[in-house]
Amino acid sequence: MKRNGILNAQLSGALATLGHTDLVMVVDAGFPIPSTATRVDLAIAEDLPKLETVLELVSKELIVEGVVLAEDVVTHNEPLAAFVQETFSDAPLETRTHAEMLGEMAQRAKIIIRTGAFNPWGNIGLVCGVDVPRWFDEPGVVVPDYYQDRMRAAESRTD
């Protein structure tokens, strides 16, 4: 038996397919999931599981280099905005219109994880990244400028 982490076989397997720049969305119970995405439906009942619970678990499984959420989260759902900023503090946050989240972002997503959340604008996109210190740790390998900040942040955590 798996000891810890995500125990759901479909979700764990789907996350293992993700690569650099892939988009995974963790969404509320009412999100219109396109047929092109891998759908992982965890919804059991209202707020079961909660959006925040799934985001927290997924954050421990993935390297996230960008977060996308609807503008309305920032202006109309401060508790969710604060949770997302705290959970993904190392990743830049980008906002889109609610229509873009339901349309363009949903079409781009490789995986969409449906929660039981009844949480306004509770649809969060996570852009997968790489573990910069591990990818650029060989002698003679140059860290590109766009990864320098992430390398310094990782180095300061180990000091």
Q: For position 159, what pLDDT does the model report?
A: 60
Tell me what the mean pLDDT of segment 93-103 comes to.
97
Active site residue 76: no
Q: Which of 5, 13, 17, 20 is catalytic?
A: 20
What element of type H or E holds 79? helix 78-87
pLDDT over 80 at 158, yes or no: no
Residue with tokens 């590109």: 144
Residue range 99-129, pLDDT digits in tens: 999 999 999 999 999 999 999 999 999 999 9
Residue range 1-14, pLDDT digits in tens: 788 899 999 999 99
Residue range 29-87, pLDDT digits in tens: 999 999 999 999 999 999 999 999 999 999 999 999 999 999 999 999 999 999 999 99
Tell me what the mean pLDDT of segment 20-36 comes to.
97
Q: How many residues does the chain have?
A: 159
Q: Which residues contact 68 (CB under 8 A, 6 or more apart)?
A: 23, 93, 94, 95, 96, 101, 105, 124, 125, 126, 127
What pLDDT band is residue 143 in, cutting at 50, 70 and 90? confident
Cα–Cα distance measured from residue 47 to residue 87, given in angstroms and rounded to the nearest whole number: 19
- Strand blocks (E) in 29-150: 38-41, 64-70, 93-96, 111-114, 124-128
Residue with tokens 């994880």: 113
> What is the three-class DSSP state of 114?
strand
What pLDDT band is residue 152 in, cutting at 50, 70 and 90? confident
Domains (range + CATH), the chain: 15-128 (3.40.1650.10)
